[in-house]
Each structure stands twice: as C-alpha cells, then as structure tokens.
C-alpha cells in the first residue's frame, strides 16, 4: 500500500506542474497578443491619423500693417485717435495746418488766370499783327511811289545838268547857274536814296510783322484757351495744390486698430514722416515655422487647425496654407549663419509657412499681431 502511494504522489506532482506551466504559457501568450494588438493600434493611429498631419508650436500672428505717413509738411493741428482705438476706413486720424496749402493753392490759381489771360492776349496780338501787315503793304506802296517819283526827278536833274554843262562850255551860262544845276542833281540823287531807304524800311517792317504773326500763331495754333500748354501747366499746378490741401486731413486707409502713434499736437512733420500704424485685425494671418523635414507633403491650399495661447485649446481656428516664404529665417537674418567653418554643426532649419485664417472666427475671437499659436496642417486635404 505504501509503494502504491509513493508511486501516485510523483505523478500527481507532475500533473500539477504541467497545469501550472500551461496556465503560465497561456498568460504569456495573452500578454504578447495584447502587446501586438496595442502596437498594431498605435501603428494604425500613427499611419491614419498622426502621420497625415504636421504640427508646430513655433507659429506667430502677423498682419500687413499700414504705415500712416504725412504727404505734406506742416504743423499738426489736431490728432483725433490714440493707441488701441478702433477705426474705420475713411475716419479722420489727424489734421495738419492748412495755411501753407491754401496760400499755395491761391498762387496756383493766380498763375492759371494769368496763363489764360496771356492766351487771350496772344489771340488779340494775331489780329493786331495782321492789321500791321496790311498797313505795311500800304506803306510799301507809298514808299515805292516815292522812289519812282525821286527817280523821275533825278533823271530830270541829270538832263538839266547835262544840258547846262554843254552851255557852260560855250559860255552861254554862268558858272553860278551851272553850280545851281549840279546842286539840284545832288539833291535829286539824295531824295532817291532817301526814298529807297524808306521803301526798304517799310519792307523790313512788313517782314518783322509777318515773323511776329507766325511766332504768335505757332503758340496758339490748334489750341483753345483750355488746351494751350501754358494753361495746362498752370492747371496741373492748381490740381497739385488742391491735392496737397486735401492731404492736410489724414484718413485711415482701412479698418483696424491704431498702434505706435508717435505724433502730438503742435509737432511739425515732414513728408514721409511715420505718424502711426493701423493694424487690420480682420486680415490677420499666421506664420508657422515648420522644420524642413516636415514640409515634404505640405502644399498650398491644405487645411490647417490652430489654437492660440490667448484662448487656449478650447478655441480652434481654421485656415488654409496660402504660401511659403522665399527662405528660412537664418537666410534673412541680420547676421546670416556662416557654415563654412571647421566646427560646423548641422541645425535643422525652419521655413515660414503662411496660413490664412477664417475671418468669421477672427471676429468672434480677435487676435493681435505677435501672439503665439499652435498650428497643425492636414496633409490629406487638398
């Protein structure tokens, strides 16, 4: 009996050990299977969810701010806005003293009136010069008649002198009478010369009047009082003066918020002086600086989801990729990195990606330039 009990005991012990091993093996297999399943789930999540997005918290709010500058010089008469104030397009921001601009406009208008009067005078001169030409023709005719008359008198005096010379040779007349005849001949010759000079002078006057008429006609030919060059120049000066006068009132070019106001009442400003800035809050975008290794599948037009440190994860913004910067931040730095050195260490570069935000969401939760953002781009979107 004892031998049977001794034989049965080892068998029972072996059966118990086998059962324990089977249970342990089963637990191990179950654990391995669980690990494999969890790994498969994580891989699936990574492939189908996380692998289709890229994320960065190196993103900041930006906007194309409008610099408000003075287009004219003068003393600031009035400033109607202050920093942080909301303005609409066309609102008056500041007023510059108008005195100088008004004087310049008055001078330009006077020059315009003078130019128009000169055109009227030139037109009247044409009529006067035409009359002078007609009068000079009469003078020429009169001078020509005087030349003919003097020519006849000269020929008569020559004949008289010739005849008396012959008579004086025979002693028929006295020497005194011959001298008188010679004097008459000389007077007739002088009268002819005077008549010819008068004719030449009349012809010169006619030529001068014709030249003046031609020059005057060249100034006004094919033009009217409002289209002559002098009037056009004067009119342009008037328009410029009016424009400068209107620029003494500085208006907002777009809707936004005033920031960086630097002017005060009484300050004198010069053209190009920056007076303040207007930030268009409804046209804000985000510059997300992604690593270069993240941009392989990023394309323009892909959807993006963003959160702001200002509102936290409870407020999401939606937008889309609208473009990539032309270079990395290091490339456009004031002192670019010099990699041509012996101790060079490769640093992963970041490229700014611009994301446009939904205007409706911006109205509900306004942002400010420079705020930090967290950006995620959906690579599956188109």
Q: Can you give the CATH number for the domain in which 153 is found?
A: 1.10.287.620
Residue 85 sits in the same domain as residue 112: no
Q: Which residue has the tokens 């610099």?
A: 67
370 in any annotated domain: no
139 in any annotated domain: yes
SS (H, E, C) 58-103: EEEEECCCEEEECCCCEEEEEECCCCCCEECCCCEEEEECCHHHHH
Q: Quote the percentage of the chain above a pLDDT of 70.
A: 85
Q: What is the pTM of this model?
A: 0.61
| Span between the terminal Cα atoms of the chain, in Å | 86
pLDDT in the model for residue 380: 86
C-alpha–C-alpha distance, residues 15 and 61, integer Å: 73
Residue 225 phi, psi (nearest 5): -60, -30
pLDDT category of residue 1 using cuts at 50, 70 and 90: very low
Residue 209 sits in the same domain as residue 254: no
**Of 242, 265, 291, which residue constitutes the final position of a domain?**
242
Residue predicted with more confidence, 72 or 169 = 72
**Of 252, 279, 306, which residue constitutes the final position of a domain?**
279
Strand order in 92-96's β-sheet?
Answer: 249-251, 92-96, 74-79, 268-269
The answer to whether residue 3 scores a pLDDT higher than 60 is: no
Residue predicted with more confidence, 98 or 175 = 98
The token pair at 347 is 């640093």
Residue 140 sits in the same domain as residue 232: yes
pLDDT in the model for residue 122: 66
For the segment 277-288, the average pLDDT, to the nearest whole number, is 91
Q: Are residues 73 and 220 in contact, defined by beta-carbon separation less than 8 angstroms?
A: no
Q: Which residues contact 240 (CB under 8 A, 6 or more apart)?
A: 108
For the segment 351-356, the average pLDDT, to the nearest whole number, is 94
The answer to whether residue 327 scores a pLDDT higher than 80 is: yes
Q: Are residues 321 and 355 in contact, defined by beta-carbon separation less than 8 angstroms?
A: yes
The mean pLDDT of the chain is 83
DSSP code of 323? E
**For residue 225, what are the domain limits?**
101-242
The answer to whether residue 348 scores a pLDDT higher than 80 is: yes
132 in any annotated domain: yes
DSSP code of 300? T
123 in any annotated domain: yes
The answer to whether residue 128 scores a pLDDT higher than 70 is: no
50 in any annotated domain: no
Taking only the tens place, the pLDDT of each residue in 147-179 is: 888 888 888 878 777 877 777 776 667 777 767
Residue 158 sits in the same domain as residue 230: yes
pLDDT-wise least confident of 47-56, 87-96, 104-113, 252-261: 47-56
Residue 177 sits in the same domain as residue 256: no
Instruction: Compute the 3-state secondary structure of the chain and give helix, strand, coil in percent, each to the nearest 5.
Output: 50, 20, 25
Taking only the tens place, the pLDDT of each residue in 333-345 is: 777 777 777 677 7
Q: Residue 259 is part of a domain; what is its CATH number? A: 2.40.50.100
Angle at 159 between CA 158 and CA 160, to 5 degrees: 90
The answer to whether residue 239 scores a pLDDT higher than 90 is: yes
The answer to whether residue 365 scores a pLDDT higher than 60 is: yes
Residue 71 sits in the same domain as residue 159: no
Residue 177 sits in the same domain as residue 266: no
Please tell me the total count of domains within the chain.
3
C-alpha–C-alpha distance, residues 149 and 374, integer Å: 113
Taking only the tens place, the pLDDT of each residue in 21-35 is: 777 777 888 888 888
Closest to 96 measured CA to CA, from 273, 279, 352 = 273
pLDDT category of residue 220 using cuts at 50, 70 and 90: low
Residue 6 phi, psi (nearest 5): -65, -30
Strand, coil or helix: what is 287?
A: strand
Residue predicted with more confidence, 304 or 218 = 304
Residue 236 sits in the same domain as residue 113: yes
Residue 214 sits in the same domain as residue 250: no
Residue 90 sits in the same domain as residue 26: no
pLDDT in the model for residue 46: 61
pLDDT in the model for residue 250: 95
For the segment 205-214, the average pLDDT, to the nearest whole number, is 73
What is the phi-psi region of residue 266: left when phi exceeds 0, alpha when psi lies from -120 to 50, beta otherwise? left
C-alpha–C-alpha distance, residues 305 and 288, integer Å: 11
Q: Which residues contact 361 (CB under 8 A, 6 or more apart)?
A: 317, 318
pLDDT in the model for residue 353: 95
C-alpha–C-alpha distance, residues 329 and 336, integer Å: 9
pLDDT category of residue 86 using cuts at 50, 70 and 90: very high
Residue predicted with more confidence, 278 or 164 = 278
The answer to whether residue 190 scores a pLDDT higher than 50 is: yes
pLDDT in the model for residue 371: 94
142 in any annotated domain: yes
Residue 221 sits in the same domain as residue 141: yes
DSSP code of 152? H
11 in any annotated domain: yes
For the segment 236-262, the average pLDDT, to the nearest whole number, is 94
H or E segment to which residue 355 belongs: strand 350-357
Residue 19 sits in the same domain as residue 120: no
Taking only the tens place, the pLDDT of each residue in 285-321 is: 999 999 998 999 899 999 999 999 999 999 999 999 9
Half-sphere exposure of 175 (CA within 13 A, CB side): 0
213 in any annotated domain: yes
Half-sphere exposure of 19 (CA within 13 A, CB side): 6
H or E segment to which residue 288 belongs: strand 285-291
């Amino acid at each position: 009996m004892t031998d049977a009990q001794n034989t049965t005991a080892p068998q029972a012990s072996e059966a118990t050990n086998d059962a324990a091993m089977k249970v342990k093996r089963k637990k191990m297999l179950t654990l391995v299977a669980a690990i494999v399943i969890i790994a498969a789930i994580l891989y699936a999540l990574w492939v189908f969810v996380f692998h289709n997005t890229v994320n960065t918290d190196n993103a900041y709010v930006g906007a194309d701010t409008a610099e408000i500058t003075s287009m004219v010089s003068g003393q600031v008469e009035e400033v109607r806005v202050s920093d942080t104030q909301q303005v609409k397009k066309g609102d008056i921001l500041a007023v510059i003293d108008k005195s100088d601009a008004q004087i310049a406009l008055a001078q330009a208008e006077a020059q315009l009136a003078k130019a128009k009067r000169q055109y009227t005078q030139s037109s009247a001169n044409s009529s006067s010069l035409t009359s002078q030409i007609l009068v000079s023709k009469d003078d020429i005719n009169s001078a020509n008649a005087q030349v003919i008359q003097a020519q006849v008198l000269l020929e008569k005096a020559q004949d008289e002198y010739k005849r008396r010379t012959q008579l004086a040779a025979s002693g028929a007349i006295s020497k005194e009478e011959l001298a008188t005849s010679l004097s008459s001949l000389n007077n007739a010759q002088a009268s002819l010369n005077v008549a010819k000079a008068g004719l030449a002078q009349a012809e010169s006057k006619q030529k001068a009047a014709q030249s003046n008429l031609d020059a005057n006609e060249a100034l006004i030919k094919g033009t009217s009082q409002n289209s002559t060059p002098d009037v056009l120049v004067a009119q342009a000066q008037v328009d410029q003066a009016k424009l400068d006068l209107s620029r003494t009132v500085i208006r907002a070019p777009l809707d936004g918020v005033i920031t960086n106001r630097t002017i005060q009442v009484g300050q004198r400003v010069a053209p190009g002086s920056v007076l303040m800035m207007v930030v268009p809050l409804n046209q804000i975008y985000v510059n997300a600086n992604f690593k270069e290794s993240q941009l392989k599948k990023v394309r323009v037009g892909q959807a993006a989801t963003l959160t702001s440190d200002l509102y936290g994860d409870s407020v999401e913004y939606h937008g889309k990729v609208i473009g990539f910067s032309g270079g990395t931040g290091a490339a456009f730095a004031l002192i670019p990195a010099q990699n041509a050195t012996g101790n060079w260490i490769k640093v992963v570069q970041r490229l700014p990606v611009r994301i446009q935000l939904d205007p409706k969401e911006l109205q509900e939760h306004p942002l400010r330039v420079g705020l930090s953002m967290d950006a995620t781009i959906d690579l599956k979107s188109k």
